[in-house]
Structure 1
């Protein structure tokens, strides 16, 4: 695989090995520790690593859980006849999956058996837009928190009935219709440190909802700015990236949102192939080597070469702008991974999505090859700028995740039927892959399936407490695990 590296990768690896030797730790453990700290735990969210699509409310895409153990791997599919972008797990170890059925496209919640992966219960929600309801999170009471097509904030709990069978039901509901106009839909939501739920809509409404008091407050971004990805929360505030700019917002005592700062980015001339909106495809990511949240980062949408933009969370001051995805395609629909001083970015340029939102607009060019691409950027220790560490053409077909327990990046790769080409087809093979974050090289992989039934569609994977890797696909959920590991938690 073509790769571009700097001395930074070698230096990082050497430092990790020195730490390992000094502390008597295995190299993998020392390497994992270099990607800490993660953002602080949000007391109103479930377990870090499994509570949100991006692991935590800071959207770091980190997990404190180790993946499948050493040795051989098995891959099994739970067929749900649905695209399943959101696989979350609460403190009880039961996976809760938010899916959109192929037929009818009514968002449906599934509770999975942690031993077999089969659906134990399901609950249909009110239908909304294509991206409405994709983002959800597990709260501190193991309830799926989501906004459905009726513009209601729902807390969906799973409970056993008198016969011991599982049921999913709406435990709590709060209408947001007073602040969200009809025809608009929530695209992202996350709790803050006061227990309020922040939300953002496709139409650019940013608000807070407190279902303890019934209070809903909101503001609207400047005309023409839309929000097509999720939002992130940290103790300093709530980060939102619109189709024009990145914001940090805070709220007054009554929950009314206020803009702390705004930073515009290069959004290019149009939507790119392999993206679902015209603008950055990033859910903004909090990261940093001291608190885990002193920096905020997104990838822009510049026409020829995209760049990673890093800002100081406190002020919005630019830290650096570094060109990324140089060997692959210049565009990303995925949230970056933020880990200590390191950021990892995956390209989706040219990815053949079967559908895009109706308001996405035409892409320029109309289509492109899926070259792939994965880059690592490190912020300098003194905060004076950033450096590209390595850059390659791995064809990630999922949102990569990084484990701080075993020090490995994980994703699903989409291989071409004809090796060495940039082609895509309905017969492409897909494989789970573990990647060394120091070098960008694949260290282990396992085929998950062949053909479009196994398309992971740039959706996020989740590692369960027992090491099983769950990956949503266009038709259900794939589980990858070591055969010697127990199936359940």
Structure 2
């Protein structure tokens, strides 16, 4: 939890005909986070761990029981994936919750295949992510897949801009969250490090 010395892994589970959120795993960090300090940032790693940072500068990782990366990596004791492999498929959707909180509606669907966690920039009001094109199977993502810095209009789902940083393993963001700088550059973690992608 942000501001506290505990990391909670929350799952979205089927409950009858609906869905519910519940804490699947809770990891106290009191032994490594000093009293008075708290977690201010979290980001997932490619191997299923979660990196955390505290307000006073402590940085560490937590091992979680997630499904890992890449597909179809599984936690111990999980059943076999069906299918046993799958291409990266899909796009982005905007779904609005109604004022009563009892229903939702799809506002738009976009064919942009986001390979990172999309972020809304309050500076320019646009969604920024790293998208992928080309071969997107388990081998393709690390060989010939092309990665792009993509900008999405949150009102319409249109893609007003894109730039091309590179191909393959060096640029695979592993569904991690990037950070936008004041000048619009995106600093994105990848399988091999961090890349900076400037606007064109």
Q: TM-score range by the shorter chain?
A: 0.5 to 0.7
8 Å contact 2:132–2:145 — kept in the other structure?
A: yes
- Equivalent of 1:387 in 105, 122, 131: 105
8 Å contact 2:152–2:160 — kept in the other structure?
A: yes
> Is residue 2:121 matched to residue 1:403?
yes
Computing the radius of gyration from Cα coordinates, the structure with the larger value is 1
1:156-186 per-residue CA deviation (whole Å, 9 max, x = no partner) reads xxxxxxxxxxxxxxxxxxxxxxxxxxxxxx3
From the superposition, tell whether residues 462 and 45 of structure 1 become closer, same or farther in structure 2 (CA, over 3 Å).
farther
Q: Distance in 2 between matches of 1:456 and 1:444?
A: 19
Query: Pairwise CA RMSD of aligned residues?
Result: 3.0
1:377-416 per-residue CA deviation (whole Å, 9 max, x = no partner) reads 1111243421111223321111111112211111111111
> Is residue 2:36 matched to residue 1:137?
no
Which residue number in structure 2 is paired with residue 90 of structure 1?
Answer: none
Deviation at 1:481, TM superposition (A): 2.3
Q: Distance in 2 between matches of 1:357 and 1:375?
A: 26
8 Å contact 1:416–1:423 — kept in the other structure?
A: no
**3-state DSSP class of the match of 2:178?**
strand
Structure 2: which 5+ residue stretches go unaligned? 1-35
1:221-240 per-residue CA deviation (whole Å, 9 max, x = no partner) reads xxxxxx53xxxxxxxxxxxx
Which residue number in structure 1 is paired with residue 196 of structure 2?
Answer: 479
Deviation at 1:466, TM superposition (A): 4.5
8 Å contact 1:455–1:474 — kept in the other structure?
A: yes
Which residue number in structure 1 is paired with residue 41 of structure 2?
Answer: 52
**3-state DSSP class of the match of 1:458?**
coil
TM-score (norm 2): 0.67
Q: How many residues align?
A: 161
> Is residue 2:135 matched to residue 1:445?
no
From the superposition, tell whether residues 480 and 406 of structure 1 become closer, same or farther in structure 2 (CA, over 3 Å).
same
Q: Distance in 2 between matches of 1:482 and 1:366?
A: 38
8 Å contact 2:163–2:199 — kept in the other structure?
A: no
Q: Relative contact order: is structure 1 or structure 2 higher (C-alpha 8 Å, sep ≥ 6)?
A: 1
8 Å contact 1:464–1:470 — kept in the other structure?
A: yes
